[in-house]
């Protein structure tokens, strides 16, 4: 067993690997206070399609709180909304950091083993998933950390307890890497933008400390990374040909303020251009990648350069 520890917001955070889920590509157990979460990651052995099929399965086991599910079967039921939302937080934070074109299936399985009813387990799920991927042989090399920031009586609280969260006027979950923020989830009362920026600034030193822990664990227990199966790179001449055909039409379609009409126009443009360019079955994946990339570029330009929303 290899373990790293550090104090985070006045409580001990422990990440350990080597004792649990040994048949997985990588696994980590994360403890914060008395809340314990086990994260295991596995990778499929074959190509799964022309996209990256990442699945996050987060489950809060009833026994973690010393309970047995009620009802006739005494078994765990379907995922609750909170579990689905936590799975999405983990997914959104990790997915952009896999290598471009990586298309092997990856399953991130997270189980809450113990809950002290004070320290929330959702943050531990992401920290443990990132650490498990780092120490595994899966091609994932960028550590991700997360922390929660609450605002109570105009003062920030880093990693507030469950009881403190109920008293906060704002709650942000901030995930990021060494170089930037990858995901923000939050809610609360109306608040000025500078308060949100200050909350993110409060989170950054905490993220850096957790990232240092994950890197330390990787240096001690990390496996050699495999290359994995990648989608072939799109040829530049193919990309230029497709972009020349679709970009003017997409720019015109993006002038439509109605989401429904705009979506219909984009679908028609995609089908018409594919027919005109004689896109073969083997090029459909590359065509979809170029088409989606062109939409993304136009979307970002509208927001960053033109300073306009698509609906006006």
According to the model, what pLDDT value does residue 194 have? 87
Distance of CA 54 to the CA centre of its chain: 10
The neighbour count for residue 150, using CB atoms within 10 Å, is 24
Q: Decide if 103 contacts 229 (C-beta within 8 A).
A: yes
Domains of the chain: 2-143+207-221 (3.30.230.70), 236-304 (1.10.10.400)
Predicted confidence at residue 256, as pLDDT, reads 83
Within a 10 A sphere around the Cβ of 164, how many other Cβ atoms? 15
Residues contacting 2, CB < 8 A, separation 6+: 16, 17, 18, 217, 220, 221
Residues 6+ apart with CB under 8 A from 204: 176
| Digit-coded pLDDT (tens) for 234-293 | 888 899 999 999 999 998 888 888 888 988 999 999 999 999 888 888 888 888 889 988
CB 213 within 8 A of CB 30: no
For residues 247 and 291, what is the distance between their CA atoms, to the nearest angstrom? 9
φ/ψ of 50, rounded to 5, equals: -105, 20
Report the side by side order of strands in the sheet with 181-188: 155-158, 145-152, 170-176, 181-188
Residues of the chain with pLDDT under 70: 46-50, 63, 68-77, 311-312
- Closest by Cα among 102, 25, 99, 88 to 57: 88
φ/ψ (deg, to 5) at 251: -60, -40
Nearest to 182 by CA among 105, 101, 89: 89
Which pLDDT score, from 0 to 100, does residue 309 have? 75
Look up tokens 């880093």; give the residue: 158
DSSP for 169-236 reads SEEEEEEE-SS-EEEEEEEES---HHHHHHHHHHHHHHHHHHHHHHHHHHHHHPPPPP---BPPPPPH
pLDDT of residue 63: 67
Residue 189 contacts residue 121 (beta carbons within 8 Å): no
Q: Are residues 66 and 116 in contact, defined by beta-carbon separation less than 8 angstroms? A: no
Question: CA 8, CA 206: separation in Å to the nearest integer?
Answer: 7
pLDDT reported for residue 75: 66
CA distance 20 to 70: 29
Q: What is the pLDDT of residue 47?
A: 65
């Amino acid at each position: 067993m290899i373990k790293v520890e550090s104090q985070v917001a006045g409580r001990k955070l422990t990440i350990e690997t080597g004792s649990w889920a040994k048949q997985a590509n990588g696994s980590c157990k994360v403890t914060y206070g008395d809340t314990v979460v086990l994260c295991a990651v596995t990778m499929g052995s074959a190509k799964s399609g022309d996209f990256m099929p990442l699945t996050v399965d987060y489950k809060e086991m009833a026994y973690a709180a010393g309970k047995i599910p009620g009802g006739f079967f005494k078994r765990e039921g379907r995922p609750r909304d909170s579990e689905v939302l936590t799975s999405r937080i983990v997914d959104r934070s990790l997915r952009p950091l896999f290598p471009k074109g990586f298309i092997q299936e990856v399953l991130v399985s997270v189980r809450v083993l113990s809950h002290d009813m004070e320290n929330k387990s959702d943050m531990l799920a992401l920290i443990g998933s990132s650490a498990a991927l780092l120490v595994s042989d899966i091609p994932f090399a960028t550590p991700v950390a997360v922390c929660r920031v609450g605002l109570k009586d105009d003062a920030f609280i880093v990693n507030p307890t469950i009881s403190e969260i109920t008293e906060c006027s704002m709650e942000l979950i901030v995930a990021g890497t060494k170089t930037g923020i990858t995901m923000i989830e939050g809610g609360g009362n109306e608040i000025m933008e500078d308060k949100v920026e200050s909350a993110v600034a409060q989170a950054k030193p905490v993220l850096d400390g957790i990232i240092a822990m994950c890197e330390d664990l990787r240096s001690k227990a990390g496996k050699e990374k495999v290359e994995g199966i990648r989608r072939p790179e799109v040829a530049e001449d193919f990309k230029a040909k497709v972009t020349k055909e679709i970009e003017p039409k997409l720019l015109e379609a993006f002038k439509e303020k109605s989401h429904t009409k705009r979506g219909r126009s984009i679908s028609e443009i995609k089908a018409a251009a594919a027919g005109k360019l004689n896109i073969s079955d083997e090029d459909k994946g590359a065509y979809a990648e170029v088409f989606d990339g062109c939409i993304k570029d136009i979307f970002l330009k509208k927001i960053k350069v033109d300073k306009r929303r698509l609906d006006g």
